[in-house]
Amino acid sequence: MTTADTAHPYDEAPPEVPQVEVTLHVNGTSHRLRLDARVTLLDALRDHLALTGAKKGCDQGACGACTVLVDGKRVVSCLMLAAQCEDREVTTVESLSEAGAPHPVQAAFARHDAFQCGYCTPGQIMSAVSLLAEGRADSDEDIREFMSGNICRCGAYPNICAAIREVAAGG
């Protein structure tokens, strides 16, 4: 028997993972990071910058728990590479409150009891903030349609909708 016969594929040295240098501007602060090129924006935020507001639900773009804003537009950060965010403005739920006062959307969620376990809530709130900025919260139908990328396993949808409707109406 030769060495070639006994070699196992897992005995080979793993291929070298490319590293990238990336500057992320997050909530007004710049961070220079050296990352595995495959690291997602979500993992960069959570594991490298200790910003754990954005949650990992499905990790495949289906639940919206990881929603953050990039250049003011909502994205599912589990489907975006950190390297794609070089010199772009990233906004996470941690930036919403000011001087300890909750953002109006956060306050409305609390008033309307728009969560149960809370796991989806940061993503729901970031999506709602963006939806309101886009001027697309004119009706319950619109709110449901434009929030449809954010799944709530606890089924808090009626209260989420009521909270967004209240803020849209100036409440």
Binding site for ligand FES (CB under 6 A): 56-59, 61-66, 76, 78, 115-121, 152-154, 156
| Residue number, 66 or 108, with CB nearest to ligand FES | 66
Residue 164 to residue 146: CA distance in whole angstroms: 11
Residue 107: its H or E element: helix 104-111
In the complex, least distance from residue 58 CB atom to ligand FES, rounded to whole angstroms: 4
51 vs 120, beta carbon nearer ligand FES:
120
Q: Of 35 and 65, which CB lies nearer to ligand FES in the complex structure?
A: 65
With beta carbons less than 8 A apart as the criterion, state whether 149 and 130 touch: no
d(CA 40, CA 90): 13
Select from 68, 128, 131, 120 the least CA-distant residue to 103: 128
Residue 125 or 137 having the CB closest to ligand FES: 125
* Angstrom distance (rounded) from CA 121 to CA 103: 13
Q: Whole-number minimum distance, CB 91 to ligand FES, in Å? A: 16
Q: Minimum distance between the CB of residue 149 and ligand FES, rounded to whole angstroms?
A: 8
